[in-house]
Amino acid sequence: MKLVDLLPPERVFVNIDIAEREQLLAFFAEKAGALGLVGSDECLQALTDREELGSTGLGKGIAIPHARIPSLETPVAMLATLARPIDFDAPDQEPIDIAVMLLLPKQSGEQIKVLSQVARFARQDSVVDELRRADTTEQVLVILADAEDDL
């Protein structure tokens, strides 16, 4: 399963105004609830619990907040680019401005595949730079689709 397959346009958010990590997690949880994907409270609790185990910041300005949600049947993803970088306790101590949120079923083997795809994107500076410059959801999706074709 490709990351772009998990990202319909209504799950991609460009240049959102977020001030801190907790606000970003709440944003994703609220959107997941509003789209009927999972309860927003359940989502926020799962994401927060996972962050308490250790930051999901990758480095190079990217974070992958993720959690397992027992009630899910299929993986859910969302992507946000931020108007301003925020602290996310990343290993390189750099603030993040791109976040890919993943929610996975309790017994999912997809987690490693999707996480590894995001990690591959993170290593491609040109893709990350293009995502940062994207002004629209459509641009983000084209960038991701082109990058996945190259992987």
Concatenated DSSP letters of 61-117? TEE--EEE-TT-SS-EEEEEEEEEEE----TT---EEEEEEEEE-TT-SHHHHHHHH
Nearest to 113 by CA among 57, 79, 64, 53: 64
CA-CA distance, 114 to 101, in Å (whole number)?
11
CA-CA distance, 40 to 101, in Å (whole number)?
13
66 annotated active-site: yes
Task: Point out the catalytic residue in the list 57, 66, 78, 117.
Answer: 66
Nearest to 11 by CA among 37, 42, 46: 37
Judge contact between 50 and 65, C-beta under 8 A. Answer: yes
User: Any idea which residues carry the catalytic annotation?
Assistant: 66
